[in-house]
């Protein structure tokens, strides 16, 4: 009986999530141009970070990129038997993907957009029983609280990548510094990487599970002023969870696209200072 355009929201959700899933899967299989060396610094795409292993002998990997990947890689080069299509993305993408897939907000959104269950709030569905998430397979959505811990670690890893993106081995006129020396600088790519950390941080630390962890189990918050303050901050992010969910989704995709364009030479990063 809803007379408004109730189908617009699930349709937009369907299009937005489908576009992101398509793009990120395609980039993971493409597995190249995820590290851009620009003017004495390097930008690593968040889709491929952290690099656990990497293939050192792919055609797009120049000596410069290989050295930078060595610095980023936790475990070195891929074993020789690993197929070439196994990019670093495949080893890590399960964590942020699992976190988003089980997110309370996204669950509400994609149950409507992809399964029509229900098609939208207060819109009838073709069955009259509600089975909830207490049985197989949806009971597994409860794993979200554990994914939170993994996702939180990723924020620090991405912050470290962004930190490397403001360390330049050339001065602002482009002159190389002495070997091993770096100086603080800022390029558009640095801002893009830091923007990604801020949006993803706002999304991750506004998580409902984190909110519960930080203060949800306390009966009298007034007796724990520090936790009460933290609870307030998390609550503030949490009340904008949907906004952060979409901004961070868009920005993480844009960050990857920016690094990709710089890495293949289509765009040149502009150094601000
Ligand atoms: S509820 Fe959305 S990230 Fe935890």
- Which protein residue has the closest C-alpha to ligand 1 atom 2? 103
Centre of ligand 1 to C-alpha 105, Å, is 6
Cα separation, 245 vs 100, whole angstroms: 9
Contact 157, 50 (CB under 8 A): yes
In a domain, 7, yes or no: no
Question: What are the phi and psi torsion angles at 219 (to 5°)?
Answer: -80, -40
What range does the domain containing 50 cover?
Answer: 31-263
Nearest ligand 1 atom to the CA of 245 is 2
Contact 106, 100 (CB under 8 A): yes
In a domain, 119, yes or no: yes
Centre of ligand 1 to C-alpha 9, Å, is 19
- CB 155 near ligand 1, within 6 Å: no
Centre of ligand 1 to C-alpha 137, Å, is 19
Distances (CA, A) of 204 to 11, 126, 194: 25, 34, 15
**Which of 51, 37, 35 minimizes the C-alpha distance to 89?**
51
The pLDDT tens digits along the chain (273 residues) read: 889 999 999 999 999 999 999 999 999 999 999 999 988 899 999 999 999 999 888 888 889 899 889 888 999 898 888 888 899 999 999 999 999 999 999 999 999 999 888 889 988 887 777 777 888 888 999 999 999 999 999 999 999 999 999 999 998 888 999 988 999 999 999 999 999 999 999 999 999 999 999 998 888 888 899 999 999 999 999 999 999 999 999 999 999 999 999 999 999 999 999
- CB 104 near ligand 1, within 6 Å: yes
In a domain, 212, yes or no: yes
Q: What is the pLDDT of residue 129?
A: 76
In a domain, 2, yes or no: no
- CB 209 near ligand 1, within 6 Å: yes
Centre of ligand 1 to C-alpha 221, Å, is 22
What is the maximum span of the chain, computed from C-alpha positions, in angstroms?
72
In a domain, 8, yes or no: no
Helix (H, G, I), strand (E, B) or coil at 30: helix
In a domain, 4, yes or no: no
Centre of ligand 1 to C-alpha 151, Å, is 10
Total structural domains within the chain: 1
Choice from 103, 109, 201, 240 to test ligand 1 binding pocket (greatest atom count within 8 A of CB): 103
In a domain, 269, yes or no: no
- CB 69 near ligand 1, within 6 Å: no
- CB 205 near ligand 1, within 6 Å: no
173-196 burial, b if ≥16 CB within 10 A, otherwise e? eeeeeeeeeeeebbbbbbebbbbb
Residues in the chain, overall count: 273
- CB 101 near ligand 1, within 6 Å: no
Nearest ligand 1 atom to the CA of 144 is 4
Alpha-helical runs (H) found in the chain: 8-30, 63-72, 88-92, 94-101, 104-115, 144-164, 188-204, 208-211, 225-238, 241-263
In a domain, 15, yes or no: no
The residues, ordered by sequence, that sit 6+ positions from 46 with a Cβ below 8 Å of its Cβ are 158, 161, 193, 196, 200, 252, 255, 256
């Amino acid at each position: 009986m809803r007379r408004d355009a109730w189908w617009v929201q699930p349709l937009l959700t369907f299009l937005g999530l489908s576009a992101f899933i398509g793009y990120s899967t395609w980039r993971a299989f493409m597995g190249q141009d995820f590290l851009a060396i620009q003017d004495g610094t390097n930008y690593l795409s968040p889709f491929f970070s952290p690099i656990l292993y990497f293939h050192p002998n792919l055609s797009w990997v120049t000596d410069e990129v290989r050295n930078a990947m060595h610095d980023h890689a936790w475990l070195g080069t891929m074993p020789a038997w690993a197929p070439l299509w196994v990019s670093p993305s495949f080893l890590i993408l399960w964590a942020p993907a699992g976190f988003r897939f089980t997110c309370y907000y996204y669950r509400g959104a994609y149950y409507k957009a992809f399964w029509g269950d229900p098609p939208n709030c207060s819109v009838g569905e073709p069955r009259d029983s509600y089975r909830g998430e207490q049985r197989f397979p949806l009971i597994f959505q409860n794993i979200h609280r554990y994914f939170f811990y993994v996702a939180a670690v990723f924020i620090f890893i991405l912050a470290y990548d962004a930190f490397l993106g403001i360390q330049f081995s050339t001065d602002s006129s482009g002159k190389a510094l002495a070997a091993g020396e770096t100086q603080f600088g800022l390029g558009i790519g640095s801002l893009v990487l830091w923007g990604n950390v801020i949006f993803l941080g706002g999304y991750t630390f506004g998580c409902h599970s984190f909110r519960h962890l930080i203060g949800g189990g306390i009966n009298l918050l007034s007796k724990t002023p520090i936790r009460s303050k933290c609870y307030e901050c998390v609550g503030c992010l949490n009340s904008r969870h949907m906004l952060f969910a979409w901004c961070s989704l868009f920005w993480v995709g844009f960050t990857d696209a920016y690094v990709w364009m710089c890495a293949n030479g289509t765009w040149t990063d502009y150094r601000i200072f």
